[in-house]
Amino acid sequence: MTKNRATLLGDALATEGVEFKTELSIFEQHKLEWLRSNPGEFVVIVGTRVVGFHPDYESAFKAGLSAAGLGKNFLLKQIWAEEPVYLIY
């Protein structure tokens, strides 16, 4: 399933991508717990399965690829209290 996040936020620019609805739901359910146990780390979620926590993006990606399989999407999210907004100037 895809969605257009930018349009949903009222932005004029259209961007499509994988929604990660199930994975983001799992993330939100566990976020407070993970903020205490694994702050700043990357969590890998495949469907409803939490694969593990990693200190950097690259090792988390390799773990996700191994768990999900080639060509299959998985969520790889850094654990923050507040989702950062990245500035591009």
Nearer to other proteins, 18 or 32 (CB): 18
Q: Which of 5, 32, 35, 55 touches other proteins (CB under 8 A)?
A: 5
Rule CB under 8 A: which of 51-70 touch other proteins?
Answer: 57-58, 61-62, 64-65, 70
Using alpha carbons, list the distances in angstroms from residue 63 to 2, 6, 33, 34: 24, 29, 21, 18
What angle (nearest 5°) sits at the alpha carbon of residue 76, between those of residues 5 and 24? 55
- Quick check: 46 and 35 in contact, CB under 8 A? no
Binding pattern to other proteins, positions 6-25, x when CB under 8 A?
x--x-x-xxxxxx-x-----
Q: Which residues bind other proteins (CB under 8 A)?
A: 5-6, 9, 11, 13-18, 20, 57-58, 61-62, 64-65, 70-71, 73-77, 83-89
